[in-house]
Amino acid sequence: MDREMAPKQGDEGAPDAWLVFEPDVREGLRDLRAGEEVIVLTWLDRADRDVLVVHPRGDATRPETGVFSTRSPDRPNPIGLHRVKIVSIDGTRVRVQNLEALDATPIIDVKPVLDQTTER
Non-local CB neighbours of 57 within 8 Å, separated by 6+ positions = none
Displacement of CA 76 from its chain's centroid (Å): 17
What Å distances lie between residue 55 and 2, 3, 43, 46, 77, CA to CA?
Answer: 29, 28, 21, 18, 18
Residue among 1, 17, 99, 105 that touches a copy of itself (CB under 8 A):
99
Q: Shortest distance, CB of residue 47 to a copy of itself, whole angstroms?
A: 11
* Residue ranges in 15-44 that form contacts with a copy of itself under rule CB under 8 A: 25, 27-32, 38-39, 41
| 8 A C-beta contact, residue 99 and residue 12 | no
DSSP states of 64-88: PEEGGGS--S-SSS-EEEEEEEEEE
87 binding a copy of itself? (CB under 8 A): no
91 binding a copy of itself? (CB under 8 A): no
61 binding a copy of itself? (CB under 8 A): no
1 binding a copy of itself? (CB under 8 A): no
Residue among 8, 57, 60, 118 that touches a copy of itself (CB under 8 A):
118
Tell me 29's DSSP state.
Answer: G
Interaction site with a copy of itself (CB under 8 A): 12, 14, 25, 27-32, 38-39, 41, 52-53, 65-71, 75-77, 79, 81-84, 98-100, 108-112, 114, 118-120
